[in-house]
Chain A
Amino acid sequence: MTRTLTAATVTAALLGSVALADEVRVYNWSDYIDEALLEKFEQETGIELIYDVFDSNEVLETKMLAGGSGYDVVVPSGTFLQRQIQAGAFQQLDMAQLPNSGNLWDVIQDRTAQYDPDNAYSINYMWGTTGIGVNVPKVQEILGEDAPIGSLDLIFNPDNMAKLAECGVYFLDAPSEMIPAALAYLGEDPNSHDSDTIAKTEAVLGGVREHVAKFNSSEYINALANGDICVAFGWSGDILQARDRAWEADNGVEIAYNAPSEGALMWFDQMAIPVDAPNPEGAHVFLNFIMDAQNMADASNYVYYANGNAASKPLLEEDVISDPAIYPDEETLKNLYTTTPYDARVQRQVTRLWTKIKSGT
């Protein structure tokens, strides 16, 4: 019996296709962790970490729904998580294996419970807002000193956009982010699932379409930092990372992030374990490692996103914890909205609308 087992293990090792017990595969968003933490994890636990990245929830979701992704930990956003839980893509967390879960922040836990009831399947990794990143001197040069850099008027008013087109504007290629923003601009409920209401956004987005250089969800970090573009509608931490890269490069580019005054989407990226994860024990070890107060603080200090870990707050650097773009103050917090997943029919309408806006067909 022992010999058979040994033979099986050797075969498995030789084939390499079967995950070994001391290996954890993590699939996370691009530009979303301090690489030093990955090395620390391997040193502390002796588990080999394989870390892959993606830049769209859709890609992750398709892997989850197809099954057999081979990943042990994945990081969908709240609305996507909710639907994937319904589809049976994740396994319940074993809290006994997660002693650090006491570090989690109840305020964020309450909010994520709307996607993952009782937070049974996921822990919060980071959260943030979707808003406007601008190259301040460039935009002020074009639109004047009183340019509305904190308002959706900057990106949805065709007059402003026609002028900004000369220095470059990128939008997220994510209808689940852009359509709520256009609804907020119109003064409608950003979380509307009503066909007629959603259809109104076509005029807003279509009206500025010709002035948008590119729809992309990851390239704007570098483009903003290099000065290739002067406005991006994107995720808070990404824009703050662009700000930092421009500082480091000292290239005269000065980036600022603002959550739009009309309301900003608040989103949550949740770590979860796929139902068919090859190494669920290792996945729990990774989640527990991430929930350590110091590790989580290091992660936030590096990527400029707020986290859902109350114990990490005293360990955060001053420019993170006291930056309202990262940890919003009470006033901004009131202005944030959340969204819920569309059903199949509305989702089709939204995707179709988005294709029409992008391609004109």
Chain B
Amino acid sequence: MLRRWFLIAVPYVWLLALFLVPFLIVFKISLSDAAIARPPYLPVFSWGDSIIDFIRELDFENFIFLTEDDLYWKAYLSSLQIALIATILTLLVGYPVAYAMARAPEHWRPTLMMLVILPFWTSFLIRVYSWMGILSTEGFLNQFLLWVGVISSPLQILNTDTAVYIGIVYTYLPFMILPIYATLDRLDGSLIEAAEDLGCSRASAFWLVTLPLSRPGIIAGCFLVFIPTIGEFVIPSLLGGSDTLMIGKVLWEEFFSNRDWPVASAVAVVLLLILIIPIVLFQRNQQKQAEADR
């Protein structure tokens, strides 16, 4: 009995300590006011004070402020758009790779798996920096294209949205490949044989059998790419131009340039709501469907 309780408690303690408590701290700061102090907001909670006085000083004005300037919703929309396009691109590149891996001879697979994971052994920052070297006007890619004669003057790729997409697809590709590979690997090959025996062409067998059965992997991969991409800061600031508008950058500016931790926290809370609500709705929908199928 005790053991069962313990097993149930572990994930909840995990969620409480690593998600709920940090979230409540951020939420509390978002209700505070900026000040020239250390830390730069008021009021700061201390155990000696009356909790009622403390709560009385909190208000929602920072959230109201976010609605008054179109910068914030434009940045949210632009981040959503970039994350959505980047996720689709990653899926388009990642699915064939995962499919090829799952179809490769058994003894090759560990090596292929290794090759997918290998880039993680180098620092993420260094890999993004090397893309700067590849994509710049004096970089390898332009030098190569000039040498081949495809272009006559260097292409401006670095510091544009194209470079941001390249960076995101490159960085998050393993997160897309691995879950899809996992579902494809477990796929029962006899199902496809059966489809083909019953008159399906290879293409329609893929379309009617393989693709629907790999859906859990696709969904997992898309979430793993989409969620971190929305708040991505490093890739757009290194590869993107000054006009690449993303919420991570706006958050950085509130936090660092304006020293306004309360507004920065409000931006973060809204971002979390934008992310969590659709995911919860989606999960619930999935569950309902699964129950209906049963």
Residues of A within 8 A of B (CB): 56, 58-59, 61-62, 64-67, 83, 86-89, 173, 175, 212-215, 226, 228, 275, 344, 347-348, 351-352, 354-356, 358-361
Contacts and interface: CB of A to CB of B under 8 A. Distances in A.
A347 B39 CA distance: 18
A175 B243 contact: no
B70 A67 contact: no
Contacts of B126: none
A62 B255 CA distance: 8
B258 A347 contact: yes
A86 B256 contact: no
B259 A214 contact: no
A83 B36 contact: yes
Contact of B36 (A87, A213, A214, A361): A87
Contacts, number: 73
Contacts of A64: 38
Which 4 residue pairs are nearest across A and B when measured between Cβ atoms? A58-B256, A358-B242, A351-B257, A65-B40
A59 B256 contact: yes
Residue among B74, B159, B241, B259 facing the most chain A CB atoms (10 A cut-off) = B259
B197 interface: no
B251 interface: no
B138 A228 contact: yes
B245 A359 contact: yes
A178 to B, nearest CB: 12
Which interface residue of B244, B253, B260 has the most chain A CB atoms within 10 A?
Answer: B253
Contacts of A358: 242-243
B267 interface: no
Contacts of B259: 61-62, 65, 344, 347
Interface in B229-262: 241-245, 250, 253, 255-260
Main SS at interface, chain A? helix
Interface of B: 34, 36-40, 69-71, 74-75, 136-138, 159, 241-245, 250, 253, 255-260
B260 to A, nearest CB: 7
Contact of A355 (B37, B241, B253): B253
Contacts of A212: 242
B159 A214 contact: yes
Contacts of A62: 255-256, 259
Nearest to A65: B40
A86 B259 CA distance: 14
Nearest to A351: B257
A67 B258 CA distance: 17
A86 B250 CA distance: 26
A212 B69 CA distance: 26
Contacts of B250: 355
Contact of A213 (B69, B159, B257): B159
A351 B258 contact: yes
A77 to B, nearest CB: 14
A215 B258 contact: no
27 contacts: A61-B256, A62-B256, A65-B39, A65-B40, A65-B259, A83-B36, A86-B36, A87-B40, A88-B38, A89-B38, A175-B257, A213-B159, A215-B242, A228-B136, A228-B137, A344-B36, A344-B259, A344-B260, A347-B257, A348-B260, A351-B253, A351-B257, A355-B250, A355-B253, A356-B71, A359-B242, A361-B70
Given A61-B259, A67-B38, A173-B242, 6 more contacts: A61-B256, A83-B36, A87-B40, A89-B38, A359-B243, A361-B71
B248 to A, nearest CB: 13
B134 to A, nearest CB: 15
A86 B256 CA distance: 17
Contacts of A83: 36
A355 B71 contact: yes
Contact of A67 (B39, B244, B256): B39
